[in-house]
C-alpha cells in the first residue's frame, strides 16, 4: 500500500497521531518545532498532571527518559513512547537506589525527598517526589522532627533549605546545563539591561551566590506565567535556552535574554520531528516500568500530586 503524501512533516505527524490515538507531550526545553506541534507543553509538574488524566492510547513524550518513566508509572495501561532512547539526564544519573538505601541505614527515621529528575528505581526508594515548582511546599508539609534527604540536585535543595529553614541533607548532584550560568555574567547582563527582570531557575549553579539578586526564582512553568503577567519589557532568563522559544512566542513585544547561551541540554535536543514520525510509525521506543517497581515509585509521586 502506497504511503500517503503530506505537504509538511507536521501534517504527517498529525496524521500518525490520529491513527495511533496518541497525545504529544513536550517539555519547555524541547526544540521550537516540537514545542509548536505538542498537544501539551509545560514543566515536569504540569506534564505529570496531564499524563495522569489523558484518555489517549499512546503518549509520545518529547523530553528525557525519567519523564517517560514517570508517565509509565502514573498511567501504566498506556503505551509511552520516546523519539530517542538516548535522551537521558546527567542529573538523574547522579544518584542511585543503592545511595538512598545507604542513607536510610544511617538515618532509619529519615524522609527521602526525590526531585522528579530521578530514575524510577530512585523514586521507588523515596517517600516523596517534588518538582522545582512545588519542592518548598512538599518539604514544608513534612514532620519537623525527622531528618530529610533531598536528592539529587544540590542547588534546588539549597534553595529549599533556605526557604523552609529545615535541616536538609543535600546530595551533591547538579544539572550541567544550569551550572554553566555564572553569577559574574548575570551581573554583567544586569548592568547592560538595568530595566530587565532577572528570572532564575533554582537548579542554577549561580543560585547560591546570586539568588538574592533574582527578581523571581521559578520553575520553567512559573517563568512562563510570570513573564506574561509582568509589566517589564525585558527579562534575563537563567535556565536552559529552550524555554526562550515559548516565551518569545507568547510575548512578541517583550525581549528575553539568556543568562548563558551555553545553557543547552544536549539530551533534550536529541528529539526531532523526524524521530517523532519514526516513533509513531514503528511504535518505538516504548518505555515501560515493570509493575512491581512502578507500584513502589507511584506512591511518592501521588503524595506530591496530593500536596500540590
Alpha-carbon distances, residue 274 vs 60, 62, 88, 199, 284 (angstroms): 13, 12, 19, 33, 13
pLDDT tens across the length of the chain (308 residues): 446 778 899 999 999 999 999 999 999 999 999 999 999 999 988 998 999 999 999 999 999 999 999 999 999 999 999 999 999 999 999 999 999 999 999 999 999 999 999 999 999 999 999 999 999 999 999 999 999 999 999 999 999 999 999 999 999 999 999 999 998 899 999 999 999 999 999 999 765 555 667 899 999 999 999 999 999 999 999 999 999 999 999 999 999 999 999 999 999 999 999 999 999 999 999 999 999 999 999 999 999 999 98
The answer to whether domain 9-88+268-289 and domain 92-174 are alike in fold is: yes
What ranges do the domains of the chain cover?
9-88+268-289, 92-174, 177-258
CATH class of 92-174: alpha beta
13/33 Cα distance (integer angstroms): 12
Helix boundaries (H) for the chain: 9-20, 32-37, 44-53, 65-74, 97-106, 120-124, 135-140, 154-164, 176-179, 183-192, 207-210, 220-229, 243-250, 273-282, 291-307
Cβ-based neighbour number of residue 19 at 10 Å: 11
Helix (H, G, I), strand (E, B) or coil at 99: helix
DSSP string, 120-131: HHHHHT-SEEE-
Architecture of domain 177-258: 3-Layer(aba) Sandwich (3.40)
Architecture of domain 9-88+268-289: 3-Layer(aba) Sandwich (3.40)
Q: What is the pTM of this model?
A: 0.93
Residue 13 makes CB contacts below 8 A (sequence gap 6+) with 24, 37, 273, 276, 277, 280
Helix (H, G, I), strand (E, B) or coil at 149: strand
Tell me the β-bridge partners of 79: 58
| Alpha-carbon dihedral sign for residues 142, 148, 149, 152 | positive
Amino acid at each position: 500500500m502506497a504511503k500517503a503524501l503530506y505537504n509538511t512533516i507536521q501534517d504527517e505527524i498529525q496524521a500518525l497521531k490520529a491513527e495511533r490515538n496518541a497525545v504529544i507531550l513536550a517539555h519547555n526545553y524541547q526544540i521550537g518545532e516540537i514545542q509548536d506541534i505538542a498537544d501539551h507543553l509545560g514543566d515536569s509538574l504540569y506534564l505529570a498532571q496531564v499524563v495522569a488524566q489523558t484518555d489517549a492510547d499512546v503518549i509520545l513524550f518529547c523530553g528525557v527518559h525519567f519523564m517517560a518513566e514517570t508517565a509509565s508509572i502514573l498511567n501504566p495501561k498506556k503505551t509511552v513512547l520516546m523519539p530517542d532512547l538516548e535522551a537521558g539526564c546527567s542529573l538523574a544519573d547522579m544518584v542511585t537506589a543503592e545511595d538512598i538505601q545507604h542513607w536510610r541505614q544511617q538515618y532509619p527515621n529519615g524522609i527521602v525527598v526525590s526531585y522528579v529528575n530521578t530514575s524510577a528505581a530512585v523514586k521507588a526508594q523515596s517517600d516523596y517526589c517534588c518538582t522545582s515548582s512545588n519542592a518548598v511546599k512538599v518539604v514544608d508539609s513534612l514532620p519537623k522532627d525527622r531528618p530529610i534527604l533531598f536528592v539529587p540536585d544540590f542547588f534546588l535543595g539549597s534553595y529549599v533549605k533556605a526557604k523552609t529553614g529545615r535541616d536538609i541533607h543535600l546530595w551533591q548532584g547538579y544539572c550541567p546545563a544550569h551550572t554553566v550560568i555564572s553569577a559574574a555574567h548575570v551581573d554583567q547582563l544586569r548592568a547592560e539591561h538595568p530595566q530587565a527582570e532577572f528570572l532564575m531557575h533554582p537548579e542554577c549553579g549561580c543560585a547560591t551566590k546570586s539568588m538574592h539578586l533574582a527578581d523571581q526564582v521559578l520553575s520553567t512553568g512559573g517563568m512562563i506565567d510570570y513573564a506574561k503577567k509582568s509589566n517589564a519589557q525585558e527579562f534575563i532568563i537563567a535556565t536552559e535556552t529552550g524555554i526562550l522559544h515559548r516565551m518569545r512566542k507568547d510575548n512578541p513585544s517583550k525581549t528575553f535574554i539568556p543568562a548563558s547561551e551555553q545553557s543547552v541540554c544536549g539530551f533534550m535536543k536529541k528529539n526531532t520531528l523526524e524521530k517523532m514520525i519514526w516513533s509513531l510509525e514503528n511504535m518505538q521506543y516504548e518505555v515501560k516500568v515493570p509493575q512491581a517497581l512502578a507500584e513502589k515509585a507511584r506512591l511518592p509521586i501521588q503524595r506530591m500530586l496530593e500536596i500540590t
